[in-house]
């Protein structure tokens, strides 16, 4: 799916949507119509879903999806990703390349739009063992 393939009415609605961001100490909200954060935005296909993130298409080759979680009703996605576009030292990726996006399904359309896009320290808790008595029920 291409952004320019949207009808002018839908494209104008997309431009009016806001997204919250904390990126390099800059905080939102920003809107898709006047954001200088990205140029030439385009949909990405993430786990079979068309998703618009607040980044330009030049970022796409540098983005790796770590995890994509669909809500039970299918109206939201939570995406953990790595974007190495501005990372010069691979040893700093866990500090500088992680992002989390919360995306809502756009009304009456077949795509999702990020409403939250924040920096994220890429933590991996898969090796952490929790004692049964430490679990909170």
Give per-residue pLDDT as tens, 86-129.
Answer: 999 988 888 889 999 999 999 999 999 999 999 888 877 666 66
**Residue 137: what pLDDT?**
46
Closest CA to 48 of 33, 23, 65: 65
Q: What percent of the chain has pLDDT over 90?
A: 50
**Fold topology of 3-122:** Nuclear Transport Factor 2; Chain: A, (3.10.450)
Task: Tell me: pLDDT of 34 over 80.
Answer: no
What letter would DSSP give residue 104? Answer: E
Query: Domain residues of the chain, as ranges?
Result: 3-122
Structure tokens at 100: 């989390």
Q: What is the pTM of this model?
A: 0.84
Q: Are 53 and 30 a contacting pair, CB within 8 Å?
A: no
Q: What percent of the chain has pLDDT over 70?
A: 81
């Amino acid at each position: 799916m291409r952004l320019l393939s949207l009808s002018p009415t839908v494209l104008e609605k997309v431009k009016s949507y806001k997204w919250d961001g904390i990126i390099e100490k800059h905080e939102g909200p920003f809107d898709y119509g006047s954001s200088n954060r990205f140029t030439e935005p385009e949909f990405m296909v993430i786990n079979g879903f068309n998703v618009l993130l607040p980044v330009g298409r030049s970022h796409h080759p540098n983005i790796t999806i770590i995890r994509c979680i669909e809500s039970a009703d299918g109206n939201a996605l939570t995406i953990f990703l790595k974007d190495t576009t501005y990372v010069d030292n691979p040893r700093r990726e866990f500090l500088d390349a992680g992002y989390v996006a919360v995306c809502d399904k756009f009304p009456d359309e077949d795509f999702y739009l990020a409403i939250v896009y924040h920096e994220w320290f890429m933590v991996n808790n898969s090796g952490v063992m929790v004692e049964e008595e430490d679990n909170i029920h």
